[in-house]
A = this chain, B = another copy of it.
């Protein structure tokens, strides 16, 4: 892995017949006499010169690199988030260092250490392990969804509370009488917890009796869902609920498949609304897994980048909430389209 010797600034200076510093000024847009600027630009052309990133980084301590720490890219939500982060950074001339932490705390810490040591200019983190205390104290960072106690860190998230509320309102609008809520959550608190708060609030507001699965995430999800289902079957086999708001599309889709396999019809017997708005192949508008409260992934990503790259003086907002929107995905009774 060796790279060929590239021309240096010195070569350009010699070629142009000016001093080293003058070349540097031209490159960095610092005023220089018209005559010299042209000579330098000419020399740069001739030699096909490009700035050496390491030398510049060594001097300026800037790399134009931003680390994105996410669990993985295989989960469609993370994948989409990463994709939009990349696009936003690219627009600003920044590059993306992808760090998939896989939920391995050591790997997260490794990446954080690396980030702290002059390798990146900032961090965008979407993580579900407890790395708060490893976050370098003075590196710009924006976190998605999570909250760390040791330091005031700008957070970006969807308006999960309103989203949770909206899910129930939509289910009611489409004729549900008894919506339940399903969640398998991380042990670490985050903004997405408010989806449940939204559900509970909506229950209160519309006089519904709350009923839900709310367990720590585990390998036993399917068994837990099945048990829940059994407990909610009437003697005639019909269900005591007719709507499901799932904390994520993923689990909502699991529940959807379970219902189908037990002979229930969706959306006729039970309507389902998930959360996230993930798409099967990531591109079309018509390939939601289930009807969903869709996170505005593109806007969320842009907002993260915007806050991270805001001028040093600008105070970053502690929390930025963006609205999530309902979209039809086949498991609700507003079909047609």
Contacts and interface: CB of A to CB of B under 8 A. Distances in A.
A237 interface: no
Contacts of A90: 100, 107
A21 interface: no
Interface residues of A, number: 64
Contacts of A250: 281
A1 B282 contact: no
B1 A308 contact: yes
A144 to B, nearest CB: 16
Pick from A54, A65, A116, A253 the residue with the most CB of B within 10 Å: A54
Contact of A80 (B6, B74, B102, B119): B74
A274 B311 CA distance: 49
Interface string A113-124: 110111101100
Interface in A97-121: 97-100, 102, 107, 113-114, 116-119, 121
A74 B83 contact: yes
Interface string A43-69: 000001011111111100111010010
7 contacts: A1-B121, A3-B61, A6-B116, A50-B118, A54-B58, A55-B58, A75-B282
